[in-house]
């Protein structure tokens, strides 16, 4: 939907500030881009990427957003694989809990007049989870966010590389609700805890992946303890009646799991972890 560049601006105090500059691509209507900019302007939460400014550059509309030096979760997961290291379970749980805070707010967001927006992010995946330099975890990219009252085509608006995070109902073009976002986070949590994607197999075509998602035959290996396996299977239930209903319900189960095992982390520990994995100077 857009191209993103690192840019500099001046903050209200006159200090230089690095920002992520999102420029509208050709083929996207100004109305679509403006909708995303307007949505970002209505939302404010510590776990969501903040919009700082909107305008026009090079005859193209832009959104200036806070620049997060820690990169995204996909980069961090790839770095672990390259270093042949397991993704720390405590880190994966912490990241998922922070994303769930963002989703709880997002799903309950209201317009400026106080009317419920009924929002669904529709594109939760590791590439849209970002890290700040001090261990913050933030969800970004609201370009395909939609109202849960709307129906969209199968995979509509989602890049090919992200199709493996679609929910079963999303692959069928059915009306989406918050549970679709919880499914996508369940896939992401599975990757962090188990070490591989539950539906994405080497050499699989996009059609193969879509069929695997619809079948939703999720197997959790024995090295994952039973309580975590139950959390993953509930998040990845193809039946909406048995899947987590809300981000709060999902987060409550995950929080209790972490509490029982003393796995809660401080942002400074996340910062140290990012430094060790990516060599960040933060």
Q: Given this model, what pLDDT does residue 1 score?
A: 53
One domain for residues 216 and 91 = yes
81-128 pLDDT per residue, tens: 888 788 999 999 999 999 999 999 999 999 888 999 999 999 999 999
Structural domain tally of the chain? Answer: 2
Q: Is 123 noted as a catalytic residue in this protein? A: yes
Q: Given this model, what pLDDT does residue 282 score?
A: 45
Give residue 43's domain range: 2-66
Domain boundary among 21, 37, 66: 66
One domain for residues 22 and 107 = no
Q: Given this model, what pLDDT does residue 121 score?
A: 93
One domain for residues 221 and 160 = yes
Q: How far apart are CA 130 and CA 18, in angstroms?
A: 16
One domain for residues 83 and 33 = no
One domain for residues 265 and 160 = yes
Q: Given this model, what pLDDT does residue 150 score?
A: 47
One domain for residues 59 and 111 = no
Domain boundary among 25, 47, 66: 66
Q: Given this model, what pLDDT does residue 149 score?
A: 44
Q: What are phi and psi of 9, to 5 degrees?
A: -140, -175
One domain for residues 143 and 31 = no
Catalytic residue chosen out of the listed positions 123, 141, 208, 260: 123
One domain for residues 148 and 181 = yes
What CATH number does residue 200 fall under?
Answer: 1.10.510.10
One domain for residues 16 and 102 = no
What CATH number does residue 52 fall under?
Answer: 3.30.200.20
224-235 pLDDT per residue, tens: 999 999 999 999
* Token output for 94: 């912490």
Domain boundary among 45, 66, 87: 66
One domain for residues 7 and 95 = no
Q: Mapped to the 3 state alphabet, what secondary structure does the chain carry?
A: CEEEEEEEEECCCCCEEEEEEEEECCCCCHHHHHHHHHHHHHCCCCCECCEEEEEEECCEEEEEEECCCCCEHHHHHHHHHHCCCCCCHHHHHHHHHHHHHHHHHHHCCECCCCCECCEECCCCCHHHEEECCCCCEEECCCCCCEECCCECCCCCCCCHHHHHHCCHHHHCCCECCHHHHHHHHHHHHHHHHHCCCCCCCCCCCHHHHHHHHHHCCCCCCCCCCHHHHHHHHHHCCCCCCCCCCCHHHHHHHHHHHHHHCCCCCCHHHHHHHHHHHHCCCC
Q: Given this model, what pLDDT does residue 125 score?
A: 96
Q: Given this model, what pLDDT does residue 144 score?
A: 64
One domain for residues 13 and 104 = no
One domain for residues 138 and 271 = yes
Low-confidence ranges of the chain (pLDDT < 50): 149-153, 157, 160-161, 281-282
């Amino acid at each position: 939907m857009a191209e993103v560049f690192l840019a500099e601006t001046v903050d209200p105090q006159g200090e230089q500030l690095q920002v992520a500059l999102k420029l509208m691509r050709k083929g996207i209507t100004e109305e679509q881009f403006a909708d995303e900019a307007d949505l970002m302007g209505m939302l404010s939460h510590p776990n969501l990427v903040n919009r700082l400014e909107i305008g026009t550059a090079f005859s193209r509309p832009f959104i200036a957003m806070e620049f997060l030096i820690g990169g995204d979760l996909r980069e961090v997961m790839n770095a672990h694989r390259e270093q042949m290291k397991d993704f720390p379970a405590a880190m994966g749980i912490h990241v998922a809990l922070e994303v769930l805070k963002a989703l709880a707010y997002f799903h309950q967001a209201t317009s400026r007049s106080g009317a419920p927006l009924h929002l669904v992010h529709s594109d939760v995946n590791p590439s849209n989870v970002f890290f700040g330099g001090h261990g913050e975890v933030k969800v970004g990219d609201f370009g395909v966010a939609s109202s849960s009252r709307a129906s969209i085509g199968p995979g509509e608006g989602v890049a090919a590389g992200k199709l493996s995070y679609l929910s079963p109902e999303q692959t069928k073009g059915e009306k989406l609700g918050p549970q679709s976002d919880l499914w996508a986070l369940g896939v992401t949590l599975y990757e962090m805890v188990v070490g591989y994607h539950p539906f994405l197999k080497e050499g699989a075509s996009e059609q193969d992946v879509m069929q695997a998602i619809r079948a939703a035959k999720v197997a959790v290996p024995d090295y994952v303890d039973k309580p975590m396996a139950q959390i993953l299977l509930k998040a990845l239930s193809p039946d909406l009646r048995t899947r987590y209903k809300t981000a709060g319900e999902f987060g409550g189960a995950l929080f209790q799991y972490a509490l029982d095992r003393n796995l809660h982390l401080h942002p400074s520990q996340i910062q140290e972890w990012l430094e060790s994995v990516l060599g960040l100077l933060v």
